């Protein structure tokens, strides 16, 4: 949880200490998951599910340390960060009073967005055409992604996360994999084999391009969801969001809080800067 969010919630010193402890434990688990995924490969969506479970566990622990006012405000910040895709969740759809038909439309839009996000993952530096498998590894070449909001490079802190040195943003995995003839185990394969250098200029440039593509995907999804809602529903959703929080104030940088892509959810804008709020003009 960033200092800016902690200040907004009005945390005590004791609460801040508890959150740091949870964040450290989550970061350790995340690194272990990335190391295992990088060495063994696997289904990106399975990794995404594992990271969602991890995030929910951390959020649950953090929430228990908050008082009612803080919990209510945190819920608002989470909705702002998540963006309109939150409307695909049953409890939010119910509060906004979506019809059955609207529910189906929103879920379809969100599913298409997530699929497009996963498909936007690029080939990591050094990753050439698939090469032959090496001992202990799978075929080299383009690696799969890993996790929701978590991949191998840098990431989305969200609202309750902290310093995700190896995460990516909101439901999208970062690329990994070997190069020509490269295996997925450390040191395996030929040139470009093994896991990519996440701090290299090439990798950072690749992540920047990916974030730009995903921002366009989120913007398109937001526009489609706005078209589904009535004026009354947009107003109801606005009330759930509470006072706007400027997520762009959260420090960003490779592996730092807010990470590349920032904490914006689908339609949440590049840094959750409020662009995910519904357009109530229509």
Residue 237 lies in a domain: yes
The residue written with tokens 């995924």 in the block is 37
User: Looking at residue 73, what is its pLDDT?
Assistant: 96
In whole angstroms, give the CA distance from residue 149 to residue 50: 11
Nearest to 233 by CA among 110, 101, 94, 109: 94
Per-residue 3-state assignment (H helix, E strand, C coil) for the chain: CCHHHHHHHCCCHHHHHHHHHHHHHHHHHHHHHHHHHHHHCCCHHHHHHHHHHHHHHHHHHHHHCCCHHHHHHHHHHHHHHHHHHHHHCHHHHHHHCCCHHHHHHHHHHHHHHHHHHHHCCCCCCCCCCCCCCCCCCCCCCCCCCCCCCCCCCCCCCCCCCCCCCCCCCCCCCCCCCCCCCCCCCCCCCCCCCCCCCCCCHHHHHHHHHHHHHHHHHHHHHHHHHHHHCCHHHHHHHHHHHCCCCCHHHCCCCCCCCCCCCCCCCCCCCCCCCCCCCCCCCC
Residue 266 lies in a domain: no
- List the domain range (segments joined by +) for residue 65: 3-249
* Number of domains composing the chain: 1
In whole angstroms, give the CA distance from residue 35 to residue 124: 16
User: Looking at residue 36, what is its pLDDT?
Assistant: 72
Residue 210 lies in a domain: yes
In whole angstroms, give the CA distance from residue 25 to residue 80: 26
Residue 282 lies in a domain: no
How does pLDDT run across 246-270, given as a tens digit for each residue?
988 785 544 333 333 333 333 343 3
Residue 275 lies in a domain: no
Residue 264 lies in a domain: no
Tens of each residue's pLDDT in the chain, 282 residues: 889 999 999 999 999 999 999 989 888 888 887 777 665 555 666 666 777 888 888 888 888 999 999 999 999 999 999 888 899 999 999 999 999 999 999 999 999 999 998 888 766 555 444 444 444 444 333 333 333 333 333 334 456 654 333 333 344 444 444 444 444 444 444 444 555 567 788 888 888 888 899 889 989 999 999 999 999 999 999 999 999 999 887 855 443 333 333 333 333 433 344 445 656 555
CB 38 within 8 A of CB 197: no
Residue 119 lies in a domain: yes
Give me the half-sphere count of Cα atoms (radius 13 Å) on the Cβ side of residue 141: 7
User: Looking at residue 59, what is its pLDDT?
Assistant: 83
Residue 256 lies in a domain: no
Q: What is the pTM of this model?
A: 0.58
């Amino acid at each position: 949880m960033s200092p800016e969010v902690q200040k907004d919630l009005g945390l005590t010193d004791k609460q801040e200490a508890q959150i740091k402890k949870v964040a450290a434990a989550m970061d350790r688990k995340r690194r272990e998951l990335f190391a295992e995924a990088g060495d063994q490969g696997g289904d990106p969506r399975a990794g995404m599910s594992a990271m969602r479970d991890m995030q929910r566990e951390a959020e649950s622990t953090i929430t228990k340390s908050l008082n009612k006012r803080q919990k209510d405000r945190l819920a608002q910040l989470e909705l702002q960060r998540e963006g309109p895709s939150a409307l695909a969740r049953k409890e939010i759809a119910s509060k906004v009073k979506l019809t059955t038909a609207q529910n189906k439309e929103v879920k379809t839009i969100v599913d298409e967005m997530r699929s497009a996000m996963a498909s936007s993952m690029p080939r990591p530096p050094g990753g050439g055409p698939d090469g032959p498998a090496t001992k202990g590894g799978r075929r080299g070449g383009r690696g799969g992604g890993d996790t929701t909001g978590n991949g191998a490079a840098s990431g989305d802190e969200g609202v309750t996360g902290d310093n995700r040195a190896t995460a990516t943003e909101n439901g999208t995995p970062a690329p990994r994999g070997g190069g020509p003839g490269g295996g997925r185990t450390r040191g395996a394969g030929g040139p470009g084999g093994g896991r990519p250098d996440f701090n290299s200029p090439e990798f950072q440039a690749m992540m920047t391009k990916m974030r730009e593509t995903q921002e366009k995907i989120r913007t398109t999804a937001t526009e489609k969801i706005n078209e589904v809602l009535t004026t009354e529903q947009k107003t109801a959703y606005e009330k759930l969001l509470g006072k706007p929080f400027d997520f762009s104030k959260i420090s960003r940088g490779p592996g730092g809080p807010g990470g590349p892509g920032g904490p914006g959810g689908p339609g949440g804008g590049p840094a959750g800067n409020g662009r995910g709020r519904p357009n109530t003009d229509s």
